[in-house]
Structure 1
Amino acid sequence: MPYSVARRLLDAFPEGAFEGPASQGRTIYPPSTDGHRRMLIARRAGRTVEQRIHDTRVAADVPWGRARHLVERFPPTRGESGSGVGALYHGEARLDVLALIYTMIAEQARSLVPSLRELAWAAELGQETAVDIVCSLLDRTARLMLDQDLSVLREQATTALAAARVSPHPAARDHAERLSAMVTPHIPRRWERLRLDGVFDGAGQILDALLVMAEDGHAPGTRVRIAAGPHTGATATIISAAWEPTGPPRAYAVRPDGVASTIAADPDDLVVLAFRAQPRQEI
């Protein structure tokens, strides 16, 4: 999607002003009381042309540059006070997880990785949405991979990294060597610790927010009201999105306020709420 088109769509639904079914509209950066995150996002919006070009060059460098770009583009936050939702877009190793997924795709399905020529052309435009377009199939595949059972993902990662370690490309070998510590049997608890720390969830939320840039949809952290089912009328927070190979999210995982677990909800059964700031309670 060209940047000018994306800008018009964003203007049609200003952040915090849209209220309607979650099957419509777009929320990329959910409004919140997290002032630090708002400051980081505003700072990025004020970058110079030179800074934007630098950032798009980083974004086009698969796997590490793209992973680093996305982690910086969608910073961590927390659920609103009273929602019961903790950290979102979080996890100290989320950059490594994203880089690992992109490395796996490069080894298992190289055709999904854009050519260096395509990436270089998009990077010089200085518009991250241009790089997103070129990487759209790569990014969606990365998100779908994170929906797999983590034991299966670890087996695939081990195989992919073993192949990458003997690649004729020095950069690929270096990446594989660095990432191998995540899956090596000599450190059996590392993978489990990543799961318990919610790093895979955080990486998935980053990709959720990225994918709604090109599709109608609502990023994790968006506040909604449940309009059907046993929790009808309850306010809730979108935690993650469920994707098909094409199109907008087919469903959302949402956490009703005061409930300890998430539920699956159809987009038509959720109403996106216009943001009404609630002061955070000091603990």
Structure 2
Amino acid sequence: MTGTKHRHPVPDRARRRAVRALAAQLGVPYSVAARMLAEGRRPVVFAQREQRPFHARVRDTREAVDLPLGRAAHLATRFKTGEPRLRTVLAMLYATVEHEAPALKPAPEELSWVADLGEEAAVDITCGALDQAARLLLDDDTWHLWNRIEAALTAGDLNADPRIRDAARLLGRELRTVSLRSALPAARRTLDALLVV
């Protein structure tokens, strides 16, 4: 025996090393670099997004906490899939989560505070339970999913809060007039990419 220790293989050691190197190179937190690698985003594109002026980042994060329409629009812009109905389907999923599990939505003061930080990662952490619940809706069979969405939009149409009522009416019109089934796989991929870290 030479006395040297054998290093045991550690799963994902190379990926973790790559994430740390990218985080150091871009000057961003580990979680942000991990998300960027998981999404397959190029460092140049990511760096351009992160290096925007603070007020532009805050504008984006304020949109990202505005449920259901703003968060859906933010994610559809952030995770480009080429699916024109992605924003609508995501908004319907978030409206359904808000209706079925209102306790998952953080307090308005918390959402406002985290939005003013201008950090997408902070918003994603705060909205993580909502994002997870929206993704779990997509595991339901399609017929049952559309029934749940329709029930949520019908309830929202009668809500006293004008923000919820207006969103429900807008989404209800979309549900009745447009075929959205083709957007479900894009919504699934988007939420999977969001939740991967």
Match of 2:84 in 1: 92
Match of 1:240 in 2: none
1:59 has 2:64 as partner: yes
Return the alpha-carbon distance in structure 2 between the equivalents of residues 74 and 64 of structure 1: 15
Alignment of 1:176-195 (within 5 A): 176-184=168-176, 187=177, 190=178, 193-195=179-181
Match of 1:166 in 2: 158
Alignment of 1:146-165 (within 5 A): 146-165=138-157
Match of 2:49 in 1: 44
Distance 1:14 1:140, change over 3 A: same
Alignment of 1:11-90 (within 5 A): 11-12=19-20, 14=22, 27-30=37-40, 41-76=46-81, 90=82
Return the alpha-carbon distance in structure 1 between the equivalents of residues 145 and 93 of structure 2: 9
Return the alpha-carbon distance in structure 2 between the equivalents of residues 141 and 206 of structure 1: 14
Alignment of 1:138-149 (within 5 A): 138-149=130-141
List per-residue Cα deviations over 1:198-250 (Å, max 9, x = no partner). Answer: x111111111111113xxxxxxxxxxxxxxxxxxxxxxxxxxxxxxxxxxxxx
Return the alpha-carbon distance in structure 2 between the equivalents of residues 11 and 132 of structure 1: 19
1:40 positional shift: 5.4
Identical amino acids, percent of aligned pairs = 37
Amino acid corresponding to residue 55 of structure 1 in structure 2: D
1:182 positional shift: 3.7
Return the alpha-carbon distance in structure 1 between the equivalents of residues 164 and 18 of structure 2: 37
The answer as to whether partners of 1:41 and 1:73 remain within 8 angstroms in 2 is no
Return the alpha-carbon distance in structure 2 between the equivalents of residues 157 and 40 of structure 1: 35
Alignment of 1:206-245 (within 5 A): 206-213=190-197
**Moved >4 Å (runs of 4+):** 38-42
The answer as to whether partners of 1:161 and 1:176 remain within 8 angstroms in 2 is yes
Structure with the largest fraction of strand: 1
Alignment of 1:96-115 (within 5 A): 96-115=88-107
1:43 positional shift: 3.5
1:96 positional shift: 0.5
1:53 positional shift: 1.1
Return the alpha-carbon distance in structure 1 between the equivalents of residues 17 and 150 of structure 2: 41
Give aligned pairs, total. Answer: 171
The runs of 5 or more residues in structure 2 that have no matched partner are 1-15, 24-33
- What TM-score results when the alignment is normalised by the length of structure 1? 0.55
Amino acid corresponding to residue 136 of structure 2 in structure 1: L
**Higher relative contact order by CA 8 Å / sep ≥ 6: 1 or 2?**
1
Match of 2:9 in 1: none
Return the alpha-carbon distance in structure 1 between the equivalents of residues 65 and 59 of structure 2: 10
1:10 positional shift: 6.7
Amino acid corresponding to residue 203 of structure 1 in structure 2: A
Distance 1:96 1:9, change over 3 A: farther
Distance 1:10 1:65, change over 3 A: farther
Amino acid corresponding to residue 190 of structure 2 in structure 1: I
Return the alpha-carbon distance in structure 2 between the equivalents of residues 9 and 171 of structure 1: 45
Return the alpha-carbon distance in structure 2 between the equivalents of residues 10 and 120 of structure 1: 33
Query: RMSD of the TM alignment (CA)?
Result: 2.4
Structure with the largest fraction of helix: 2
Return the alpha-carbon distance in structure 2 between the equivalents of residues 123 and 31 of structure 1: 23
Amino acid corresponding to residue 69 of structure 2 in structure 1: W
